[in-house]
Structures are given as C-alpha cells and as structure tokens.
Amino acid sequence: MVIAIVALVAAAGGIAAVLTRFGKRVAGQRVAILGSQKVGKTSLLYFLREGKVPDQTWKTVDPIRGGSFTMGVGGEMVEFAVPKDLPGNDGLGFTVWKEAFSGADYVWYLFRSDLIAQGNSLEIDMVKGHLDMFKDWMDAENSTCPKIILIGTWADKDPGFRKNSGKFRQIVGSASPIKIGSVKLNNAGLVVGGLITNMDASALVKSLGARL
C-alpha cells in the first residue's frame, strides 16, 4: 500500500498537504494536512521520513526535498512517498486549504495544545475560527465529508504533559474550541503529543495511526 504526499501552499502561514492513498481497501482516499505556521507540520513530516526528530526547527521558505517513510496504520505498515514540502506564506487566503479539504477523505489539523491548555486567547480564537470554517465547508459539501483528526502538538513544552499525559489530554479535549469543534465536525478524533523527542514523536504517530 502506498500513500503519496503532495504538499500544497496554504494560507495564514500554514501548509496544506494532500496524501493520496492507494490500496485494496482504501484505494483513492486522500488526507489533507492543515495547520497554521509553526505548529509542527514540517517536523512531523521529517520524523515520518527520517525516523527521528529534526535537530532544529525552521520556517519553510523554499521547497525542500521529500522522501519516503512507513507508518503503522490499522495493524499494517503503510508506505508513504513525499515528493516535496512547500512554504506556506503566499497571501492566497484559505483557497488552497479549501481545495485540499474538499478533495480529502481525511483531514489532519495541527494546533498548539500547550497554548490551548494554558487558555491562550489568541490560539483559542484562531483554532475556533479554523474549525468553524471547516464546519462551513462541510455544510456546503453535497458529497461525503472528510473524517477529521485534531492533532495537538507542542504538548511536550507543557509541564503538565510530563506529569500526567492523560490528564493533559483531557484538559485539551475539554477546552471549548476543541470540545465543541469536535462535535461540530462529526466527532473528530483527537491526538495530543509532542515532537521534541523521538519518544514523544513516536507516541504521537502511533496514536495518529490508530485513528486512520
């Protein structure tokens, strides 16, 4: 089974990636990866491709090389091919996000879980705005809507996550934009974790794979 990832330029400093999945049971299904700038999209793709977290983080300015990686999905190892990762600041609004969303069977939305847990008003308002926008797009669709998974990154920057990861996930999941947004988006799944250490990244990817 092969999944090809084509990273698209997105708005508001984000990256939209469309994964086209080929296989007997999931032939033709696609996943759109959406999220604002600096939420960890490139770091996540790097970990999946290289098997380790990057030594440093960076802002994607020019296209960088893709690659391939495997990830456990539904009890089997799935091969992914990544042609390239493109920059996100292009001033095109959410046009490309909407195109990726509308053509997807699955949507992964990345956000800052540490800021949500802290009650950061800017992150709360931004996430709420994005999820409300997704809801509007879903309501406007005449065909089957994508399955959405909310991925809270940067959890490893919050002391609460280190102390009790389960409780931290509950705090994030009960925050209004996540709790209400999940229900609005047909009970979207939630994954919470970090991408600083290989152990945290592995746990996040394992949780993600269990929800695909």
CA contacts within 13 A on the Cβ side of 62 = 1
pLDDT of residue 136: 92
Mean pLDDT of the chain: 75
CATH number assigned to the domain comprising residue 56: 3.40.50.300
Q: Which residues have a Cβ under 8 Å from the Cβ of 184 and sit 6 or more positions away?
A: 131, 132, 135
Range with lowest mean pLDDT among 14-18, 130-134, 156-160, 171-175? 14-18
* Other beta carbons less than 10 A from residue 79's beta carbon: 14
Q: Which residues have a Cβ under 8 Å from the Cβ of 82 and sit 6 or more positions away?
A: 4, 5, 7, 45, 48, 49, 66, 67, 68, 69
Q: What is the pTM of this model?
A: 0.79
Question: Does residue 14 register a pLDDT over 50?
Answer: no
Domain that holds residue 188: 2-210
- Domains in the chain: how many in total? 1
pLDDT of residue 62: 43
